[in-house]
């Protein structure tokens, strides 16, 4: 079992719709969770970080964390074609050991 | 100024050669990392250093040897390159050793192709 699991996609949504990305993790000791966006041929860039249960909103992005269910999600409202990328979920263990999921490829169609 | 910079950006070499990738960060961070991203885009940690001390050493062949001359630099040397070493290698850095908020910032990556 991978430590961080994501649906690989591809996930396709029309422009203006809500994109929902999901992630589960296996290590209950993980305390910090991150969503990174990676465009093709580029490096991962941080979109959201979340550390406590509940929702965290930043512009069009909302991260949700449920530690009891070991579940993290990312909602992208009013999706734009420029949001088309691979989204990586990551869980931070001890010693700053970050474990990434395999990524979900999102396509937003105009 | 680029916060985390890696050189070279592209590296094409023959099997059996030895090569190095360099990484420097100007963010004043204490911890640096090397990740490997394979053709399936899976990003996997290889090593991390905190203040020149090796903290994480995942199961990678001992042909890979990281070196940290100071906390702003973390280089990766690879001996006897193999075809399976072809991947994109990312350097990253973060501020603290433990606790929430330890966001990692990535370099642009080095695309290694072994022929």
User: B2, B35, B41, B58: best mutation site toward chain A, by most A Cβ within 10 Å?
Assistant: B41
Q: What is the pLDDT of residue B84?
A: 93
Written as six digits, the tokens of B31 are 């911890």
Q: What is the pLDDT of residue B51?
A: 82
Q: What is the pLDDT of residue B101?
A: 59
Q: Per the CB < 8 Å rule, is B42 touching A103?
A: yes
Residue A95, φ and ψ in degrees, nearest 5:
55, 30
User: B88, B96, B97, B104: best mutation site toward chain A, by most A Cβ within 10 Å?
Assistant: B104
Long-range contacts of B99-103, Cβ-Cβ distance < 8 Å, separation of 24 or more: B99/A31, B100/A31, B100/A32, B100/A51, B101/A32, B101/A49, B101/A51, B102/A32, B102/A92, B102/A96, B102/B31, B103/A34, B103/A46, B103/A49
Provide mean pLDDT across the span B21-29. 94
Model confidence pLDDT, tens digit, residues A20-36: 999 999 999 888 999 99
B33, B96, B106 ranked by CB distance to A43: nearest: B106
- Which residues of chain A make contact with B57, given a CB cutoff of 8 A? none
pLDDT band at B98 (very low <50, low <70, confident <90, very high): very low
B42, B97, B100 ranked by CB distance to A32: nearest: B100
B31, B43, B44 ranked by CB distance to A96: nearest: B31
Q: What is the pLDDT of residue A1?
A: 66
| Distance of residue B51 Cα from the nearest chain A Cα, in angstroms | 13
Q: Is A96's Cβ below 8 Å from some Cβ in B?
A: yes
Tens digit of pLDDT at every position of chain A (110 positions)? 679 999 877 999 999 999 999 999 999 988 899 999 999 999 999 999 999 999 999 999 999 999 999 999 999 999 999 999 999 999 988 777 889 999 999 999 99
Written as six digits, the tokens of A33 are 């969770």
Chain B residue with minimal CA distance to A37? B106
Chain A residue with minimal CA distance to B43? A100
- Which residues of chain B make contact with A32, given a CB cutoff of 8 A? 100-102
Model confidence pLDDT, tens digit, residues B65-76: 999 999 899 999
Q: Per the CB < 8 Å rule, is A96 touching B50?
A: yes
């Amino acid at each position: 079992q991978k430590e961080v699991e994501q649906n690989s996609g591809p996930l396709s949504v029309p422009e203006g719709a809500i994109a929902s990305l999901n992630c589960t993790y296996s290590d209950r000791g993980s305390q910090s969770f991150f969503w990174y966006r990676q465009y093709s041929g580029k490096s991962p860039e941080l979109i959201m970080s979340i550390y406590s249960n509940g929702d965290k909103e930043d512009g069009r992005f909302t991260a949700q964390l449920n530690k009891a269910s070991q579940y993290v999600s990312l909602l992208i409202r009013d999706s734009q074609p420029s949001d088309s990328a691979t989204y990586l979920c990551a869980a931070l263990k001890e010693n700053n050991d970050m474990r990434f999921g395999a990524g979900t490829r999102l396509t937003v169609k105009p | 100024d680029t916060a985390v910079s890696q050189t070279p950006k592209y590296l094409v070499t023959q099997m059996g050669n030895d090569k190095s990738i360099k990484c420097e960060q100007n963010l004043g961070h204490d911890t640096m990392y090397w990740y490997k991203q394979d053709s399936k885009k899976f990003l996997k940690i290889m090593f991390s250093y905190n203040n020149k001390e090796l903290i994480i050493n995942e199961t990678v062949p001992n042909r890979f040897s990281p070196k940290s001359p100071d906390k702003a630099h973390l280089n990766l040397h690879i001996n006897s390159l193999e075809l399976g070493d072809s991947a994109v290698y990312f350097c990253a850095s973060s501020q603290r050793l433990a606790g929430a908020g330890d966001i990692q910032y990535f370099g642009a990556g080095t695309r290694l192709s072994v022929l």
